[in-house]
Amino acid sequence: MDIAIDLGSDRTRVFIENKGKVLDEASVVTYDVDTDEIYAVGDEAYAMIGKTPVGIKAVHPLDGGVIARSELVEDMVSILLKEVCSVKVVMPRVVTAVPCDVTEVEKRAVVNAVSSFGVRRVYLIESPKAAALGCGIDITSPHGVLIADIGSGTADIAVLSLGGISVSKTVKHAGSAMDEEIVKYIRKKYNLIIGTNMAESCKKAIGCVKVPAEQKTFKVKGRDAVSGMPRFVEVRSEEIKEAIEEIALEIVNAIRDVLEKTPPELTGDIYTDGIILSGGLAKLGGFAQLVSEATKLRVRVHKSSADCVIMGCGKAIGFMDESDKNTPQGVSPLLAAY
């Protein structure tokens, strides 16, 4: 039995061969700062963010799509995999996604984290390739495809052809950075201190990058910066747009940069097919329209955009044997094996 893992900055997802996606939990660990004892992982740990007593921390051990706290990620992966893998499974092979511009050191950190569970071999695949596979695209053909995988930690934009990446760019500011901007905006405008969880809830509820026809509001709760007392304010969707649009425009400009560097023949394919958006942030209100207006191209958002990478990693399991043979026949989207 082979396994696929999407170690995201916000969510960790697991796919098991012949079973499909079996786990989708927050990439959060709660631990004791003195003893490093793990109290909780996943959604249980996410609910503790900002609510832990002195001496206990709830953190995201992955930041910007890469591992920031390797020992915590190893513990998190081991605990989560034990929940979904049978004890009879011995040394499975694993496919896991990494950002486009990942360094060798960062690759090794991912491999070590996944290997902590006890695996036979680890195969890496770039996130845009996995996302395209998850969208049902044949990336091994010579037809050019432009896909932007926009998640919590990074936005990976790439032009794919013949199982490889022709042009790519990674933006280190995405969903999590938007949450931080919302926190700053609410503090500056309303003198209200809120946490990132509240900011994320606000973004999911009324976040947008184009002013909607119907104005939406969200009740933001926090602590008054002056009196220290609990307080709430009603914020409008256009205010959230003001807070996050700079990051959205940075991602849009990165897509334009990739298009400008794309070879002419591949550009022709992209002009015909348009741009594909995947990732949890792809469905942000008005984002597809913003990209379309900036590039003058048709933009499609996959209906299960948040699951594209993990489903693509699951499909990449089928390329493991071909990669192991190390022969020139066929085209494998897998980046490397360890």
Question: Is the domain of 300 the same as that of 164?
Answer: yes
- The answer to whether position 81 is within a domain reads yes
Q: Are residues 80 and 17 in the same domain?
A: yes
Residues 249 and 284 in one domain: yes
* Residue 138 lies inside a defined structural domain of this protein: no
Domain boundary among 201, 225, 243: 243
Same domain, yes or no: 217 and 235: yes
Mean pLDDT calculated for residue range 130-137: 91
Task: Please tell me whether residues 289 and 193 are part of one structural domain.
Answer: no
Look up the CATH number of the domain holding residue 197: 3.90.640.10
- Is the domain of 166 the same as that of 213? no
Residues 9 and 96 occupy one common structural domain: yes
Q: Dihedral of CA 5/6/12/18: which sign?
A: negative
For residues 225 and 274, state if they share a domain.
no
User: In this predicted model, what pLDDT tens digit does every residue of 232-283 receive, in sequence order?
Assistant: 999 999 999 999 999 999 999 999 999 999 999 999 999 999 999 999 899 8
Q: What is the CATH number of the domain that holds 320?
A: 3.30.420.40
Q: Residue 106 — pLDDT band, cuts 50, 70, 90?
A: confident
CB 192 within 8 A of CB 225: yes
Residue 18 per-residue DSSP state? T
**Does residue 314 sit in the same domain as residue 296?**
no
The rounded distance, in Å, linking the Cα atoms of 259 and 168 is 9
Same domain? For 121 and 210 the reply is no
Q: With respect to residue 89, please indicate whether it lies within any of the assigned structural domains.
A: yes
Range of the domain at 36: 3-133+310-337
Domain count along the chain: 3
Domain boundary among 243, 268, 291: 243
Boundary (domain end) residue, out of 243, 263, 279: 243
What percentage of the chain exceeds 90 in pLDDT?
44
Write out the H or E segment, with its range, that includes residue 157.
Answer: strand 155-161
Are residues 154 and 201 part of one domain?
Answer: no
Plot region of 104 (φ>0 → left; ψ -120 to 50 → alpha; else → beta): alpha
CA distance 4 to 80: 13
pLDDT tens digits for range 183-240: 999 999 999 999 989 999 999 999 999 888 788 899 999 999 999 999 999 999 999 9
106, 157, 311 from 133: Cα distances, Å: 23, 15, 8
User: Both 239 and 249 in a single domain?
Assistant: no
Q: Which residues contact 64 (CB under 8 A, 6 or more apart)?
A: 9, 153, 154, 172
